[in-house]
Structure 1
Amino acid sequence: MASTSNVTEFIFNGLFQDPEVQRACFVVFLPVYLATVVGNGLIVLTVSVSKSLRSPMYFFLGYLSLVEISYSSIIVPKFLTDLLAKIKTISLQGCLAQIFFFHFFGVTEILLLTVMAYDRYVAICRPLYYTTVMSRPVCHLLVAGSWLGGIIHSMVQILVAVQLPFCGPNVIDHYFCDLHPLFKIACTDTFVEGAIILVNSGLFSVFSFLFLVSSYVVILFNLRKHSAEGRRKALSTCASHITVVVLFFGPAIFLYMRPSSSFTEDKLVAVFYTVITPMLNPIIYTLRNAEVKIAVRRLCGKTEHAGME
């Protein structure tokens, strides 16, 4: 922690200032968060117990849903509590922890999406080698690599954050801790730090997005060689992946590849990828994947039957 800091606590401006609007937001966002936890939790449970979902694609989907729960839970519970509070405070240590875990789970999700794109590439473009290339040990290594990549990224973020001196004021124009809002209240020039974050977050997001889009272009091009039924099934799966990629990367690139501002629009965009997108992912994957829908119905049927006995 920077020795020149004399601030031990921050105050969030929040999303809106009007108490009535804040209470309305609480009523809207609480069910969204609960749906996020239940929906993603149901996918994790279904993938864990269903014998029909043993392929690498569902192995990665289970971990993606687990990351979604964690990613959302870093921000949303505190956000919901603050919507009902007159003064929205967070300690300096809590702020740093929020930055670390928010970026840790965010980048882990990016890397898992990349791994899932690679899995689809091998399955569609190199089907004869699929079982060898995507063996269970390889899948575990790819997941472990995603977690490791998230840690490395977050360490850079937190090393930048702990060097920032705060002399006051201590009001953050946001509803959670991130580096751009902190730069505004740091009592030092943050040009170098901003450049580091641009590379570590902004350019990383852009290049990851371009890589993913390129991967799916190659996949879709290779689908010409498959049967009509194979194309239909592959297109359905890839459409789900592409939708999730666009929903996740679009807002993130918008925020991290442009100069920070105090516009409410920035905070509304942040709401989309911290609150809304994690809820949409299980819906997208379930609605467009017949195998997942069948497995979920079987699981719910077994649970209901067990409850009646």
Structure 2
Amino acid sequence: NLGEFKMLIFVILLLGYIVILGGNSMIIFVVLSDPKLSSPMFFFLCNLSLVDMAYTTTTVPNMLSGLVTGVSTISVQGCFLQMFVFIMLSVTGRATLTVMAYDRYVAICSPLHYSSIMTLPVRLLLVVGAWAFGTACTLPAICLGSRRYYCGANVVKHGWCDPASVRRLVCGDTLTDNIVSLTFGVVAMLTTGVLILTSYILIGLSIFRMGVGERLKAFKTCAAHLTVVTISYSAAFTFTYIKGLLSFALSCFDLSVWIVVFQVRIIVSVLYSALTPFLNPLIYSLRNNELRESIGRMLRKLGLTDVSKLPTATFSETCT
């Protein structure tokens, strides 16, 4: 029902998707090709960029195709696969931010032991743990939903196979599905949120005992990650609040208002899902001096710019 706004939405989604793929690909390429970016922080940043790229690729290309062709179809198996990968990557992204918070904690609170603690096996274990956590929080609800009987309407009223939207097509009681989905969603959000908050509380206590110069250096170390975490969780809670208001509106107004509110809810969901992957490369590129310098060196090698002309960064994330 987008009408004349269909192409506008298509252009916005396409440009955003190009920025997400380009920005995160650039971070991965620069980190892998520059030996100076071999610290654990950039190892985790690479994983976060990979998660963001896969996360948006799960949904955006299919939406772009539907906007152009006017045909938005997906098989039942493809729908549940999309649902699983989308939710799993969403949780994995937050788990990766949690791992990065632990990395910042070790860098600031135990700088002399940083290299001995954050060894390659430990880094790999933390990344595998983040992916395993995302999978464990997603599988129960998806497996339960895939065993339900679906009949009648076969239209998912959303931009992708959203669990709540697919659940409306079930012929039968979905109370158990709702409880399982909500439980694991709360576990994923609270577990990662509490661990990140705990890391920064300990960092804050450690910074409080430092001198002015060391405090500034520690703050610069956490600036980019703290910005990403703040935006990610603020957007998540804001989105949840908006969804609650819209759900209330759906139950209180007539059919015409119901249709408008429902469409607004879908648009808000699409914007939220692309927000963090869109901002992550921009924030880390602007607030990380080492990454900026590496990008400048890469562009200079390609003959595209002179690194000396790049603006001086105001933030640094040196650990030692």
Normalising by the residue count of structure 1, what TM-score does the alignment of the two structures yield? 0.86
Letter in structure 1 aligned against 2:141: Q
Higher relative contact order (CA 8 A, sep 6+): 1
Q: Percent identity?
A: 36
Say if 2:276 is the partner of 1:277.
yes
Letter in structure 2 aligned against 1:277: T
Q: Is the 8 A contact 1:247 1:273 kept in 2?
A: no
Q: Is the 8 A contact 2:239 2:272 kept in 1?
A: no
What is the Cα deviation at residue 158 of structure 1?
2.0
Match of residue 95 from structure 2:
111
Match of residue 216 from structure 1:
200
Question: Number of residue pairs matched?
Answer: 290
Q: 2:173 aligns with which of 189, 194, 202?
A: 189
Q: Is the 8 A contact 2:138 2:184 kept in 1?
A: no
* Counterpart-to-counterpart distance in 2, 1:129 and 1:213: 22
* Counterpart-to-counterpart distance in 2, 1:175 and 1:123: 41
Specify whether residues 276 and 228 from structure 1 end up closer, same or farther in structure 2 by C-alpha distance, changes over 3 A only: same
Flag structure 1 segments of 5+ consecutive residues without an equivalent.
1-16
**Matched residue of 1:235: which SS?**
helix
Letter in structure 2 aligned against 1:279: F
Match of residue 304 from structure 1:
303
Give a deviation string over 1:169-224, Cα, whole Å, max 9, x none. Answer: 11212100121111222111111110101111134213322331232232133223
* Counterpart-to-counterpart distance in 2, 1:94 and 1:46: 34
Q: 1:232 aligns with which of 216, 221, 235?
A: 216
Say which is worse superposed, 243-252 or 140-149, in terms of deviation.
243-252
Pairing 1:133-212 to 2, within 5 Å after superposition: 133-212=117-196
What is the Cα deviation at residue 256 of structure 1?
6.2
Flag structure 2 segments of 5+ consecutive residues without an equivalent.
251-261, 305-320
**Matched residue of 2:74: which SS?**
strand
Q: Is the 8 A contact 1:68 1:278 kept in 2?
A: yes
Normalising by the residue count of structure 2, what TM-score does the alignment of the two structures yield? 0.84
Q: Is the 8 A contact 1:201 1:256 kept in 2?
A: no
Specify whether residues 268 and 169 from structure 1 end up closer, same or farther in structure 2 by C-alpha distance, changes over 3 A only: same
User: Aligned Cα RMSD in Å?
Assistant: 2.2
Specify whether residues 118 and 191 from structure 1 end up closer, same or farther in structure 2 by C-alpha distance, changes over 3 A only: same
Specify whether residues 237 and 79 from structure 1 end up closer, same or farther in structure 2 by C-alpha distance, changes over 3 A only: farther
Say if 2:28 is the partner of 1:44.
yes
Match of residue 28 from structure 1:
12
